[in-house]
Structure 1
Amino acid sequence: MSHTEPQSGESESALAGVELRMAAEPTQLSIVRAVAADIAMRQDFDLDSIEDLKLAVDEACSTLISLATPGAVLIAHFVVADGSVQVSTKVGSQRSAPPDRESFGWRVLSALVDSVTTWVAPQADAYEVHIDLVKRSLGTVDA
């Protein structure tokens, strides 16, 4: 686990995050779930919201692992902002299409968080598949 390093042009609030880099293997999912739960607890999320975030992060990372090239690194970046936890995940893939938004897993993921997006970014010889999600605590519902 590494704390993000400042890059030119980034605001201080964008640096208040935690980034995990791990093998894109199912055995690593417990680590990313534990970090998600810890961050949500520290933000005083209620127990249901903590569990929702854990399950959502697990589903996002599981989806990316299924798309990963052999030996790929899964990256999960967590940022706390305005009473919400923002999670950006990505992995290297040979697949040029985003995850299936009609799948059961995607529907579950969408139901657990306030917003979820996915896209694919071309790389030199492959692609990078992204899934970003936001979970707000119950006390920060938009007015």
Structure 2
Amino acid sequence: MGVSQLGEDEGVELRMSADAKQLAVVRTVAADIAMRQDFDLDSIEDLKLAVDETCSTLITLAAPKVVLSCRFVVAQDGAIHVFAQVPSNGSAPPDRESFGWRVLTALVDSVTTWVEPATTGDGHVVHIDLVKRSAGTVDE
């Protein structure tokens, strides 16, 4: 399910400096949203770790002094969609062969990533989107 199907104005969006010091905030928000959706404890931890890995990966790719955006949207089926992005000087996507990427894909139901040219100025924007369903939620 893409962004347009979920709605641009839905959910909770965090905008923070692309700095590892901010990871605790985004993990806390992820856990709170999962708890409100009655995710079990293991699923809550998986989402927290996945969001941490997503944002950590984007921080390593970020241009200096930029803002990382992380938006959480709860779909009608209860799945949590996370849309994260950061401006980057490079055009390379995250390394899909890395240990971190393998951990990320094991923690969530789906992960996609892509890079697009920045709409303002030079550079690119690196995106990582993920979906996490509660252990009791079935895929349609």
1:32 aligns with 2:29: no
1:106 aligns with 2:101: yes
Mapping 1:56-135, distance limit 5 Å:
56-81=50-75, 82-123=77-118, 124-135=121-132
> How many residue pairs align between the two structures?
133
TM-score by length of 2: 0.91
Displacement of 1:132: 0.3
Structure 2: 5+ residue runs without aligned partners? none
Partner of 1:4: none
Cα distance in 1 for residues equivalent to 2:139 and 2:47 = 18
TM-score by length of 1: 0.89
1:47 aligns with 2:44: no
Structure 1: 5+ residue runs without aligned partners? 1-9
- Provide runs of 4+ in structure 1 moved above 6 Å: none
Cα distance in 2 for residues equivalent to 1:142 and 1:34 = 26
Cα distance in 2 for residues equivalent to 1:83 and 1:104 = 29
1:19 aligns with 2:13: yes
